[in-house]
Amino acid sequence: MPTTIPCLWFDGQAEQAAAHYTAIFPNSEILGMTRYGPETPGVEGSVMTVNFSLDGQQFVGLNGGPQFPFTEAVSFQIPCADQNEVDYYWSRLSESGQEGPCGWLKDRFGLSWQVVPTVLFELIDDPDPSRAQRATQAMLGMGKINIAELLQAADQVPA
């Protein structure tokens, strides 16, 4: 299968977004930029696209204009090994953005992210359906996911 590279449509903020994301994710960099030329839809000399990678995953940021804003219909999931990673990504991506339920947030550019500890996937797929249900119910009541609270809820024994 050929490589799949997400293209993110921004309203003039692709360069700022790429700089923001590459500062957050390890092993990330801006790979290149193209600029609008004469007789193109953008302002000549302004950034048209920014190619960047986030820990090896390539992206393209396109300054396409206001026609197509981001929605929650597309989000990027960040599987986190522990609470420190959850806290790190949550605080940096939600800064000047909007916190949502169940580990979801919108960053300052309106892009949706899911900051999710890997233990959540293990808990909701637990062979004990009661344990999985308790973990799921706990997650549904959270904004930023709290691993200790998930584990506590999963391990509660009903009276």
Single out the residue of 12, 8, 72 nearest to residue 36, CA to CA: 12
Residue 159: per-residue pLDDT: 56
Residue 1: per-residue pLDDT: 84
Tell whether the model's pLDDT for residue 82 goes beyond 60. Answer: yes
What is the CATH T-level fold of the domain 70-159, as seen in this structure?
2,3-Dihydroxybiphenyl 1,2-Dioxygenase; domain 1 (3.10.180)
Which one of 3.40.50.720, 3.40.350.10, 2.40.33.10, 3.30.720.100 gives the CATH number of domain 1-67? Answer: 3.30.720.100
Paired with 117 in beta bridges are: 80
Q: Which residues contact 30 (CB under 8 A, 6 or more apart)?
A: 18, 19, 22, 50, 51, 52
Domains 1-67 and 70-159 share a fold: no
Domain ranges of the chain: 1-67, 70-159
pLDDT band at 154 (very low <50, low <70, confident <90, very high): very high
